[in-house]
Structure formats: C-alpha cells, structure tokens
Amino acid sequence: MRALLVEDDPDVGADVADALRAAGFVVDLCTNGEEAWFKGDVDDYEIAVLDLGLPRLDGLSVLRRWRSSGREFPVLILSARGDWTEKVQGIETGADDYLAKPFEMGELIVRVRALVRRAAGRTSSVLDCGRLKLDTRRMSATLDGKPVPLSPLEFRFFDYLAHNADRAVSAGELAEHLYGAAESGDTNAIEALVMRLRRKFGADVVQTRRGFGYLLADPG
C-alpha cells in the first residue's frame, strides 16, 4: 500500500512517515506543493496525507488540482490550521478527512486505515482472502482459522491483493506498491515472493492469471 505524505516540517514528516511505515505503508515524502502535485498526478496511491501550509504551492491548491484532474485517492488534511472554516474549506475542496495539529499518531493511523478501507468499499478491518484472513488493525493473519506469522512484506503483499480483489494485479504494480516507484521495474522479487508464499501456505492461496498478474483465492 502506497501513501503520499506531504509535509514541510522535517520532524513531523519523519515521525509520520515512520508511523505509516510501521502500519504497513510504503511512503513517498514530499516537502513542497509543486512536487506533491506532480507525484499525486502521475503516481498511484491508496492515501495522501496533506499539509496545508506548504512552500511553492499551498495544500488546498494541490488538492484542487488533483481533484480537477480526476485523481480520486482519499486525502487526509494534516494542518496547524484548526479553525472550523479551514476544515470546511478543505472538505469542500475534496478532502476526505481533516486532522489538526498537534495530534496523536495513533489517531492519524486509525483515520488513514479507515479512509483506505472505505475507498476499497470495505467496512471491516478483517479481510477475507479465502483460507487466509488478514486483520489490518492488528496486522495479524490466520490460515484455516489458525494464527500464522507473516513478515511485514508478506502482509503488505496480501493486503494489497485483498484491496484489489476484483482484478488481477501485475508484478510491476505490486513491486511499485510494495517497494516504491524506484523498484517498480523489478518483477523478479515479486515472483520470488509468490513462490515463497505458495510453499509456505499452499499453491491455492495466490492464483496467477496469465498475461494479467496475481489475485487471491476466491473467498467463496
């Protein structure tokens, strides 16, 4: 799962990025509005956390440009501007949620997960992947009802496929969302990961649709 974090305060940016990574996200950090607008316009993200007071281009302008170009990923505004009129303006511009600084990191992560879940059309934090069940809140998994250990990378792999359960996902897209844009061309690592997971959990857990990519076993 990829998150775009837009924050010009280096301390806040580092802390939020660390928390998002600990929650299973691959994080791209931007420190100015122009870079954020470009990355959000050309790359695919599951969530954006957007500060308003940015250099070069303010956060509301960035958000307005994203929405006018058809970018629909959920956006959580993170800002020191706590006045209710600022919140209304942010929501009317196209934000999905608003969190004023200072904030509790745990609350930010809960809100981010809720926005990602809602965007995928899900109401529960537990994802049904056939024999495999993922609890995105606890970042735990069960196979046939029994707890199984997953590395952070393995969890992100299943999490991304589960959030895209209606289609096959290519190895290139998986690499981009698991490792970041710089590694999107390296599909060998994804193929090796799939082989390892099939040995670990059985060949039926991850299916291949030739020419299209990977998908999880049908829960039904």
pLDDT, tens digit, 9 for 90 and up, residues 34-72: 999 999 999 989 999 999 989 999 999 999 999 999 999
Enter the pTM of the model: 0.77
Q: Which of 119, 148, 180 is the last residue of a domain?
A: 119
User: Which domain does 193 fall in, by range?
Assistant: 126-216
Segment 7-32 shows an average pLDDT of 94
Q: Which of 86, 119, 152 is the last residue of a domain?
A: 119
pLDDT at 81 over 70: no
Q: Which of 119, 148, 163 is the last residue of a domain?
A: 119
- Tokens, residue 4: 């775009």
pLDDT at 148 over 50: yes
Give yes or no: residues 113 and 130 share one domain: no
pLDDT, tens digit, 9 for 90 and up, residues 184-215: 556 888 999 999 998 888 888 888 888 889 98
Q: Are 115 and 78 spatial neighbours (Cβ–Cβ below 8 Å)?
A: no
Give yes or no: residues 11 and 102 share one domain: yes
Give yes or no: residues 36 and 67 share one domain: yes
- Average pLDDT of the chain is 88
How far apart, in Å, are the Cα atoms of 130 and each of 76, 109, 217?
Answer: 31, 26, 5
Give yes or no: residues 21 and 67 share one domain: yes
pLDDT of residue 182: 59
Give yes or no: residues 35 and 111 share one domain: yes
Segment 171-182 shows an average pLDDT of 82
Give yes or no: residues 143 and 208 share one domain: yes
Give yes or no: residues 196 and 97 share one domain: no
pLDDT band at 220 (very low <50, low <70, confident <90, very high): very low
pLDDT of residue 9: 94
Give yes or no: residues 157 and 59 share one domain: no
pLDDT at 82 over 70: no
Number of domains in the chain: 2
Q: Which residue has the higher pLDDT, 164 or 5?
A: 5
- Tokens, residue 112: 């981010």
CATH code (residue 212): 1.10.10.10
pLDDT of residue 124: 78
R_g (Cα) of the chain, nearest Å: 18
CATH code (residue 52): 3.40.50.2300
